[in-house]
Chain A
Amino acid sequence: MNLTGTGVLLRHHLRRDRWMLLAWAAAVTALYYSQAVSVAGLYRSQADFDSAAATMRHNTAFVAMAGPARALNTIGGQVTWQAAAFGAILAGLMSMFLIGRHTRVEEEKGRDELVRAGVVGRHAPMTAALLVAMIGNLVLGVGVSASLLSWPLAAADSIALGVGLTLCGWLLSGTALIAVQLASSARSAYGIAGLVIGAAYVLRAVGDVGNGALAWLSPIGWYQAMHAFSGLRWWPAVLLLAGAAVSTTTSYLVFERRDIGAGVLAARPGPSRGRLHGPLDLAWRLQRGSVLGWSAGLLLIGLAYGSMGHDVGSLIGSSRSTRDLFVQGGGSLVAGFYATAVAMVALLCVGFATSSALRPRGEEVDGRVESLLATGLHRSRWLFAHVMVTVTGTVLALGLGGLGLGLGFAMVTGDARNVGPWLLASLSYVAPVLVLAAVARLLYGLVPRLTSLAWLALAFCVVVMLFAEAFRFPQWVRDLSPFDQLARVPEEDFRRWPFVALLVCAALLSGAGQLAFRRRDLR
């Protein structure tokens, strides 16, 4: 192997990535630590905790989502159960992006060529990328272990939870490094690496629900098989380490079989003729992935919330503040909980709606609009096509989120009466979501430099929803959030006029943004 220059490249990468690495470490550490904080605050007595743990253990959907239910009536057991699978996914995603960023993306942008023309060994770029990912995962592991030790939780188990995470990340770094050798573009490399992470998660989910055998095919399963805080055993860590060694070695072997700039799998050619007929076709094609991704995500989240069934009472615990959050209208706990769940799905959907409303901005900044508008396409029609996609995507995503809630509830309880009403409840949030999208549209039309303020509007609504009750916000502040205007279905009955008023408001704001766009200079 020729590794000349690896050190220089590594220092360069670490310099470029230092804030990103810290952000990943902070996020993953927070994922683990916050479980300890929330569990500790949730239950007033060990009896409460025991009964909640029993409920969770028997909920198949939870087991599928999180992992094998072990020692759920302890803080350490809860942290392991709730955080390990997702922590491993995050470590895998971080590794994937770090590896892709320093290998395939560099090759795609042509910077790799520049580097390789220098005194740099053949294997230096990929080795430097691998080392960055390994260091990143090490930082994650240290962060997790240190934060749990500081709680304080049992030392050996805290350390094991961090070590397992690091090793799992190393293994997935190796598979990501294979993926970038196989694919010839960063996008498809991420596709392959993401598929591996997804498969690892699904295998362990199916295994944990069934007899456990399939979980042994998944690195995430190996990580959870270390049984931190519930009879710790170290030998599955050896599996992870061996897996990391095998995947990394394989990636170097695969690397030998390809040219720089190409992948082992040749890039699939696309159609030589186009079927896109107009601005709407184009806008849909550009936003299709985002619309379908968000819709699937909201459906899954809906299913997850819905599968809590009637057990919400014992699951959310007995602490005052949690109950305040979920039962704002003073109705029954279950109705209140699902009213809040619908609102939270809608709040997440604002993420889609705002990014979709700002998509034209990205097209403009990247310089892809001038060619389009130099044809017979009127600029207002171009923008309106994107508006249509935003509106359609919002309806679809909210609909699927609401459907997921109802279906999840029906699957667990066998009671399907809520499917229709909760779908409608979720759809009623089309109005406030579109108001926020329209704010983004208006910013884009008037002052495109300040479009990021649109995300501040979302942050404001989140703060009002989560904290207005607890911190007794004055009414006029709460009224500023379009979410607070709407009836809390299913806890309250649907009220028509706030819904219509919000829709009109969205239409006016969006229309004003589109008019302003017609009058301004293009970048």
Chain B
Amino acid sequence: MDNVIGIAGLVKRFGSTTALDGLDLTVRRGEVHGFLGPNGAGKSTAIRVLLGLLHADAGVVRLFGGDPWRDAAALHRRLAYVPGDVNLWPNLTGGEVIDLLGRLRGGLDEVRRRRLVADFELDATKKGRSYSKGNRQKVALVAALASDVDLLVLDEPTSGLDPLMEAVFQRHVEQFRDTGGTVLLSSHVLAEVEQLCDRVSIVRAGRCVESGSLADLRHLTRTSVEAELVRPVDGLDSLAGVHDLDQDGRRVHFQVDSDELDAAIAALSRCGIRALTCAPPTLEELFLRHYGDEAPQGEPVPA
């Protein structure tokens, strides 16, 4: 059993709206899997089906090889979940909530609990109603990271954290991965995903439109090239895979499909290269290619 999460053809409707429309998602053991998509793409719905809180209308959902709807409680002992919008009981302290969630999950690692509370600089004696959004999130993160589990399901866990705390979060997730844990990380913070994730899946309108390692995905996109040449180059625009060409005498700036990078650089070098900047596509560009307004529609997406 190498797949911790296996979702295939998942459909979930709410009345007349279709939230998930044949979603596929595979998360392998020991990886940090980024789950990307704009608001309303169906990320949280997919997670809630995965946790057995919602009933799937169609498709296969496997969690640790089991059925999360039927065996929710048993499977949940092996995972910890941090919701995107953490709501606490107004009259319970953060410490009480951490211990309650830990006990319901089957116990906390005391040493790790202490260290996490210190690392996240959390005041565990405050009541739920007086915590800010970021502090509520810290409570849920400490409760999740301090429990002995195989899988972390994190739904935009850092949306309320400051950059320092985000770094603490990243460090702890990396440690968790290094000890063999698996993470499903839904996020909007692309830098965080780039930093942490081994593989990513991008959802749009309830379907998975891209899935693979970051290297794989980069391969599918364009590299941005900026060069200063000894003499002006001709015929760049007729090369396959070159886009957005901007030529000003001996300076050129263009985008090139990663597959065609070699041919384009060869053409430049024939004219003598003085300076060259090649920027690999960022995740952001990847993301925008799928969601941005200017994103070309209906372009074939290689599987």
Contacts and interface: CB of A to CB of B under 8 A. Distances in A.
Interface residues of B, number: 44
B53 A370 contact: yes
Which 5 pairs, one residue from A and one from B, show the smallest C-beta to C-beta distance? A274-B99, A274-B96, A269-B125, A270-B93, A374-B81
Interface string A352-378: 000000000000001110111111111
Interface in B167-197: none
A274 to B, nearest CB: 3
Contacts of B239: none
Nearest to B49: A521
B54 interface: yes
Interface string A277-304: 1110110011000000000000000000
A368 B91 CA distance: 13
B223 to A, nearest CB: 41
B contact face: mostly helix, strand, loop, or mixed:
mixed
Nearest to B54: A521
B87 A272 contact: no
Nearest to A261: B130
B76 interface: yes
Interface of B: 48, 51-55, 72-74, 76-77, 79-81, 83, 85-93, 95-101, 103-106, 123-127, 129-130, 140, 153
B100 A282 contact: yes
A77 to B, nearest CB: 45
Contacts of A376: 73-74, 76-77, 104-106
A373 B53 contact: yes
Given A373-B53, A376-B77, A376-B106, A522 B48 contact: yes
A366 B87 CA distance: 7
Given A272-B125, A371-B81, 13 more contacts: A187-B91, A274-B97, A275-B99, A276-B100, A277-B103, A367-B85, A370-B51, A371-B86, A373-B52, A374-B51, A374-B79, A376-B77, A522-B48
6 contacts: A185-B127, A272-B124, A371-B101, A375-B77, A520-B55, A522-B48
Nearest to B78: A376
Contact of A521 (B53, B85, B100, B127): B53
A184 to B, nearest CB: 8
Contacts of B97: 274
A242 interface: no
B99 A370 contact: no
Given A285-B92, A367-B83, A278 B104 contact: yes
Contact of A379 (B72, B74, B91): B72
B157 to A, nearest CB: 13
A269 B90 contact: no
Contact of A267 (B92, B103, B126, B153): B126
B100 A373 contact: no
A110 B257 CA distance: 49
Which of B55, B72, B105, B106 counts the most chain A CB atoms within 10 A? B72
A381 B104 CA distance: 12
Interface in A234-285: 267, 269-279, 281-282, 285
A274 B48 CA distance: 27
Which of A277, A376, A521 counts the most chain B CB atoms within 10 A? A376
B105 A375 contact: yes
Contacts of A267: 126-127, 130
A492 interface: no
Nearest to A368: B87
B109 to A, nearest CB: 15
A479 interface: no
A2 to B, nearest CB: 28
Contacts of A277: 103
A17 interface: no
Nearest to B71: A378
Contacts of A272: 93, 95, 124-125
A375 B51 contact: no
Contacts of B89: 286, 368
A374 B96 CA distance: 17
A415 interface: no
Interface in A375-401: 375-379, 381
